[in-house]
Structure 1
């Protein structure tokens, strides 16, 4: 079906005449002269096959057909206005769908706070969260399947991507509650040198895996890896089942089961637990604004922590 876009303009004119009850005042309101306004109304009447106005020296009144058309015309033009507003919001990045990939730990850490701030800043934006492994982030961003990704990254994000670190943490050790070191304030890596470890899989996040292994070796520990699993919560679950110890970010101790003790290491090993990345050269106002909200949130948290210290 071919759409006559002139109909929109003619309906605006019809509404103006109906509301003003006078062609001259309606023309003035529309910023035009009366003759072309009258011609547009005649064209609309001819297209619809009805007379919309009774014209007389005493004024202009709606006919029965005009009265019947008025509410439908108002509803239609309201919908057109809503459509135009939506298009403007999408173009400005204030409305639409943002597809975000995230590792599990980010979904329980930074993302809930970010989502709250995002809802305040961009209330019409819909955010769709997809659980991913770190190795899936870059391909998803480059292909366009993801607009942003929260994942473990240490170093450059790769060609075509912008990124920055979001959260840092210290490496702690998770052990069964009946482990000999469970009551210690700090656990030296040398104490767990002979213990089997449950590690986050290298297939899931090669950089994260390699950084932990390198840190262990730097402090004289060659890890004995018993299991490689997909997530930190899985590491803690394996420890809970007596399947070894696990090196995890200290902030994740809140996820530990009751029979698991998570204690600081004696060694100071810092890690980037989450970074955020997005396509560098893709025009995406929604993504840019979402990144700005995240930066603002991080700045507020940093200022709060500085004040507390």
Structure 2
């Protein structure tokens, strides 16, 4: 890994961001508490080093060039990450609060995560929590690298490498159908009756354990699923069904978020799936992780 850091470039990008947002060198200089000539000079140096023209200057003012507009989102993201780093450093240095990084699939963010956060904030009012929406497949690498402290995802069983998992909730498997579908009139739907239906599935790339489970369930009932779409989340499955793009095997609880043109019917077969599981890295000690795990164990 290259450990050299071009701090001059970092400063110049910060100056670029100010000019880009103000669209005026004078206002940007005032915002940065510096005079305009050195700001103008630093932007010229940045343009020369990047071999790009970042601004178009005219009597009407300063506008981003196409190249400047192209790099602006990445510079804004970088600036946001630096500000977040500064916040974490200040809080850790003060010793008055902890920082917890949580990743979660969308369904867990709706149901499982909020009660935990309420409890933690009551017990630890200075705790800072960062939440990031992730796919299940992202959890393991992020926990290994330390980017995340906790992950609420659809994982089951031993995943190795010191990553611990704890199932939090199970749900009965159901099928989401367009409201005018012939099977929608039934109170329960047999899995075998879906053999000729086009299915919307959560992508194997994003949640391999969940995808393989549903595929094996279909095969165990005598058919190979006809997958029309692989989508990012279970909520996306519901949305696709609402757009007439097939039917979807989903946890029964998804009826809470189904729109009026989608019905969710339980299967006749009692098939349980892990709706949410907690994952954490046992090789990385974090006191708030221990607190969260203990709280969730009591709530099971």
TM-score, length basis structure 1: 0.65
Partner of 2:262: 260
Q: Select the residue among 119, 141, 145 that pairs with 2:143.
A: 141
Question: For 1:142 and 1:203, how far apart are their aligned partners in 2?
Answer: 19
Aligned residue pair count: 210
Alignment-derived partner of residue 251 in structure 1 = 253
Q: Deviations over 1:95-138 (max 9, x none)?
A: 21100010111111211121112222222211111000111000
The answer to whether 1:217 aligns with 2:219 is yes
Contact 1:147 1:287 in 2 (8 A): yes
Query: What is residue 296 of structure 1 aligned with on the other side?
Result: 298
> In the aligned structure 1, how far is the partner of 2:135 from the partner of 2:93?
37
The corresponding residue for 2:121 is 119
Residue 191 of structure 1 aligns with which residue?
Answer: 193
Q: Partner of 2:241 in structure 1?
A: 239
Which blocks of at least 5 consecutive residues in structure 2 are unaligned? 1-90
1:173-229 CA distance string (max 9 Å, x none): 000000111121100112221110000000001111000110111112311000000
CA distance in 2, matches of 1:153, 1:276: 8
Q: 2 CA distance for matches of 1:283 and 1:228?
A: 36
| SS of equivalent residue, structure 2 residue 196 | coil
Distance 1:84 1:124 in 2: 11
- Structure 1 residue 296 displacement after superposition: 2.5
Moved over 6 A (4+): none
Deviations 1:35-70 (A, max 9, x none): xxxxxxxxxxxxxxxxxxxxxxxxxxxxxxxxxxxx
In structure 1, the partner of 2:183 is: 181
Contact 1:157/1:277 (CA < 8 Å) preserved in 2? Answer: no
Quick one: structure 1 residues 84 and 171, their matched pair in 2 at CA, closer, same or farther if it must change by over 3 Å?
Answer: closer
Structure-2 change in CA distance of 1:181 and 1:97 (3 Å): same
Which is worse superposed, 163-172 or 277-286? 277-286
Partner SS, residue 108 of structure 1:
helix
Alignment of 1:265-276 (within 5 A): 265-276=267-278
Q: 1:134 to 1:84 in 2, by over 3 A?
A: closer
Shift of the 125–241 alpha-carbon distance from structure 1 to 2, 3 Å rule, reads same
Shift in CA distance, 183/192, structure 1 to aligned 2, threshold 3 Å: same
Gap runs ≥5 in structure 1: 1-82, 90-94, 299-309
Q: Distance in 1 between matches of 2:140 and 2:92?
A: 34
Please give the alpha-carbon distance, in whole angstroms, between the structure 1 residues aligned to 2:197 and 2:125: 50
Q: 2:230 aligns with which of 228, 231, 241?
A: 228
Q: What SS does the corresponding residue of 2:185 show, helix, strand or coil?
A: coil
Q: Classify the secondary structure of the residue corresponding to 2:127.
A: strand
Q: Decide which structure has the larger Cα Rg and report it.
A: 1
SS at structure 2 position matched to 1:248 = strand
Distance of 1:244 and 1:145 partners within structure 2: 36
Residue matched to 2:202: 200
Structure 1 distance, partners of 2:256, 2:286, is: 36
TM-score of the aligned structures, taking structure 2 as reference length: 0.67
